[in-house]
């Protein structure tokens, strides 16, 4: 009996695990709930097929979409088997290679400990875990950790003349991954976690950081006054913002939005990403693609984004939002809660169609998808955009930088 193929939309953790697996970082790959019999097409939140899973092993279909930021630098984010081949070609199969895991900001203690840690090794690989999942508030995200990894790499290079690599590793925190196994697949013989070489006194000082301010307030003010000062400070918040990207399918709006959200979140801006396809799977599940349904989808996104802004956060939304009336409603909701920035990603239709990672334009041209924006349904070009970006001539990094300049005008 032939078992029909099924499709599974990958969570952020599963995307990280799949990327690691396809690069040779793990033997097998599994999905939440267990894979059914037969083959499973694995897609991202935009329904782009990335790989086919069968028998616990995945085969790549398309490359992963890349975003901006140091953790996406192709010189650092490389497959495990490529890294292992390179390091072994340089030092030989029998040489002793050390992997140093950097999963926390490195203090002076750890940098001092490097002198002893890297001694007597033929090469050193600095491994930095990078998760697509947003970090816990107060924790350093993937961009920051990658910068820390570069600092550690340079510190190692100052202390030894052996080859030193810094490698960003896609990391799924709840997938049962072990650094011992992952390090071996990157070509290492031994692995150390740098934060384990922190002195107890330093750990105690770090643990006290969160209470230093409140302790000083308690020392400076009488108790009733101190309580009011603490409450007032906790209640203070910066103005919330909705950054709303609009543009054709394939214009690059999601890529820029994801990169912007990651950068802002890494800076502690409490950022929520509301991407068009992901919202369709959850907030607007069951809606069609006729004009009324599209307008309702955009209004729902606008409502959730306005709640984020009201509470002082940054909401980054990236639907197609083809109609001026829908965008106007989002502006109304957002400006009642905070600030609204409209970004029109104006990439030409022919460029979007040439990209067509999901094959949607081809289906629309063939009449298989009705009401497809840009083909059989209109896109009303914004006349009120705060920023216009064409990703066919602007890199993701420059696009994010331009949005940041607009945000800094507040």
> Is 247 marked as binding a ligand?
yes
> Is 358 marked as binding a ligand?
no
State the residue for tokens 């070509």.
187
> Is 283 marked as binding a ligand?
no
Q: Would you put residue 374 in left (φ > 0), alpha (ψ -120 to 50) or beta? A: left
> Is 55 marked as binding a ligand?
no
Identify whether the C-beta of residue 259 lies closer than 8 Å to the C-beta of residue 334: no
> Is 377 marked as binding a ligand?
no
Neighbouring residues of 166: CB distance < 8 A, sequence distance ≥ 6? 76, 125, 126, 128, 149, 150, 152, 153
> Is 252 marked as binding a ligand?
yes
Residues of the binding site: 247-254
Residues of the binding site for ATP: 247-254
């Amino acid at each position: 009996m032939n078992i029909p193929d099924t499709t599974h939309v990958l969570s952020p953790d599963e995307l990280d695990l799949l990327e690691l697996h396809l690069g040779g970082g793990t033997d097998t790959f599994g999905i939440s709930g267990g894979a059914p019999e037969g083959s499973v097409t694995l897609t991202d939140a935009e329904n782009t097929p990335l790989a086919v899973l069968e028998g616990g092993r995945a085969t790549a279909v398309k490359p992963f979409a890349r975003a901006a930021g140091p953790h996406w630098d192709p010189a650092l984010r490389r497959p495990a088997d490529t890294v292992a081949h390179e390091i072994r070609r340089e030092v030989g199969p029998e040489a002793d290679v050390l992997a140093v895991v950097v999963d926390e900001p490195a203090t002076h203690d750890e940098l001092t400990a490097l002198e002893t840690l890297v001694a007597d090794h033929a090469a050193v690989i600095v491994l930095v875990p990078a998760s697509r999942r947003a970090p816990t508030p107060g924790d350093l995200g993937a961009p920051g950790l990658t910068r820390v990894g570069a600092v550690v790499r340079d510190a190692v290079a100052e202390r030894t003349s052996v080859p030193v690599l810094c490698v960003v590793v896609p990391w799924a925190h709840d997938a049962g991954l072990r650094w011992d196994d992952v390090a071996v697949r990157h070509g290492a013989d031994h692995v150390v976690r740098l934060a384990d070489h922190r002195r107890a006194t330093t750990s105690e000082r770090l643990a006290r950081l969160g209470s230093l301010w409140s302790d000083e307030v308690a020392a400076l003010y009488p108790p009733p006054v101190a309580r009011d000062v603490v409450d007032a400070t906790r209640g203070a918040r910066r103005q919330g913002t909705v950054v709303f990207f609009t543009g054709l399918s394939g214009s690059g709006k999601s890529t820029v939005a994801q990169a912007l959200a990651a950068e802002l979140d890494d800076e502690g801006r409490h950022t929520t990403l509301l991407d068009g396809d992901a919202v369709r799977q959850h907030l607007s599940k069951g809606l069609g693609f006729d004009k009324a349904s599209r307008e309702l989808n955009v209004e729902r996104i606008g409502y959730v984004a306005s709640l984020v802004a009201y509470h002082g956060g940054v909401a980054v939304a990236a639907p197609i939002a083809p109609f001026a009336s829908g965008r106007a409603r989002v502006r109304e909701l957002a400006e009642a809660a905070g600030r609204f920035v409209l970004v029109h990603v104006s990439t030409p239709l022919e460029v979007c169609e040439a990209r067509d990672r999901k094959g949607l334009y081809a289906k629309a041209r063939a009449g298989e998808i009705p009401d497809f924006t840009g083909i059989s349904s209109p896109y009303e070009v914004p006349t009120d955009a705060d920023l216009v970006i064409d990703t066919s001539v602007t890199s993701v990094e420059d696009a994010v930088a331009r949005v940041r300049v607009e945000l800094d005008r507040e």
